[in-house]
Amino acid sequence: MRSLNLPDSPSQQTTSEDGKLFAPSAERNAQAIETVLKEFLPASGRVLELASGTGQHVTRFAQTFPDLHWTPSDPDAQRRHSILSYRNDTSCTNIADPLDLVATLDHWPSDIGAFDAIVLVNLLHLISTQEAQQLIQNVARALAPQGRFILYGPFTRADDFSSDNDRAFHASLISQDPNIGYKDDFDVAEWLMNAWLEPVAVLDMPANNVTFVAQKS
């Protein structure tokens, strides 16, 4: 992934002696995301988390949903080490080793298998429109029939920002890379449908975030 100056970038995360990274935003949004997962995840099966980052989310969710088998992923070696450190501090047996996966590749590895759900938190505003569309196509291919995609993050609403803070954050992103920044909720809904992912819900979340839930037919 491109190098960006973000509030939760690796240089600003707290790192423990065992390599755990701590992202404050992951701590703040975990409860709200978990509430959505309780409503929309299947009772059992395989769940892929894309861009797992520090590992805070996947270890929490794996403990909340012990009948689901979680596969974290991240292209950054430091973050994959952090994920393993968090996992190893729990008694969880339902977290796989993290995949070295770039979610925006043209095609994911053929042996990745099919998943009953895929979860993605806070990535689309950090990649280009073309990459976002490719990622959604990849998700659609990797989902099992009736599998669900749960997508969380900041978005514009009908081409407008929800707050001055969102407008400023978007401006800081495009100043670093003009190809990235907030995606519009209408566009994302269209990309999901173009990938044959049927809309299930669009949910307002704390701090002006949005969760999209879509299902493979």
- DSSP character for 209? E
The answer to whether residue 2 is domain-embedded is no
The answer to whether residue 132 is domain-embedded is yes
Q: pLDDT at position 11, please?
A: 42
Distance CA 189, CA 132 (A): 12
Burial of 79 (0-12, 13-18, 19+ CB in 10 A): buried
Q: How many domains does the chain have?
A: 1
User: CA separation (Å) from 75 to 14, 48, 78, 142?
Assistant: 19, 14, 9, 18
Q: What is the pLDDT along the chain (217 residues), one digit of tens a residue?
A: 556 666 555 444 566 678 899 999 999 999 999 999 999 999 999 999 999 999 999 999 999 999 999 999 999 999 999 999 999 999 999 999 999 999 999 989 989 999 999 999 999 999 999 999 999 999 999 999 999 999 999 999 999 999 999 999 999 999 999 999 999 999 999 999 999 999 999 999 999 999 999 999 8
Q: What is the CATH number of the domain that holds 65?
A: 3.40.50.150
Q: pLDDT at position 3, please?
A: 62
Q: pLDDT at position 18, please?
A: 84
- DSSP character for 162? S
What is the gyration radius of the CA atoms in the chain, in angstroms?
Answer: 16
Which residue segment(s) compose the domain that 79 sits in? Answer: 10-216
Q: pLDDT at position 17, please?
A: 73
Distance CA 61, CA 66 (A): 8
The answer to whether residue 198 is domain-embedded is yes
The answer to whether residue 38 is domain-embedded is yes
Q: pLDDT at position 10, please?
A: 45
Closest CA to 71 of 105, 14, 160, 61: 61
The answer to whether residue 5 is domain-embedded is no
For 67, how many CA atoms within 13 A lie in the half-sphere containing its CB?
5
- DSSP character for 125? G
The answer to whether residue 66 is domain-embedded is yes
The answer to whether residue 128 is domain-embedded is yes
Place of tokens 């909340």: 64
Distance CA 109, CA 174 (A): 31
The answer to whether residue 78 is domain-embedded is yes
